[in-house]
Amino acid sequence: MTGQTIEAYESVRTWRRDLSDQWGGDPIAEEPDKLQALARFCEFVGEDPDAIIARCFRVRKSDGEQVISLKWRAYYAQKIREFREQNPDQESQRLAANVLSFLIHNGVLVQV
């Protein structure tokens, strides 16, 4: 990741805004472990949040429409499973759920 704070990434701001719209208040400020989980996952995969989201989309050649990249969605689903399995306890389940929330609120439906 670059030297900027995790909150500075556009994809994190999108996640925060969508959570706030859905639940009211500021769920990320109220539960800072959400950001910590995402930061740990980014460190685990060696990428920043915006890069993760960017990889999950591609431009379809036939019509130029932006669509989900099945290859990268499957890659990150596997990485989330590996991340979760590092410590098979309740905390790891919560960490993985927070990463999934980040992806889903950025338009990437992932099932692990």
- Tell me, what's the pLDDT at 94? 87
- Tell me, what's the pLDDT at 2? 56
33 vs 12: CA distance, rounded Å? 14
Chain segment 64-99, per-residue pLDDT in tens: 999 999 999 999 999 999 999 886 777 788 889 999
H helix and E strand count, the chain: 6, 2
Dihedral Cα 24, 25, 29, 32, nearest 10 deg: -30
What mean pLDDT is predicted for residues 30-51? 95
What mean pLDDT is predicted for residues 88-111? 89
Phi/psi at 66 (5° precision)? -80, 125
Q: How far is CA 80 from CA 66, 103, 105, in A?
A: 24, 11, 16
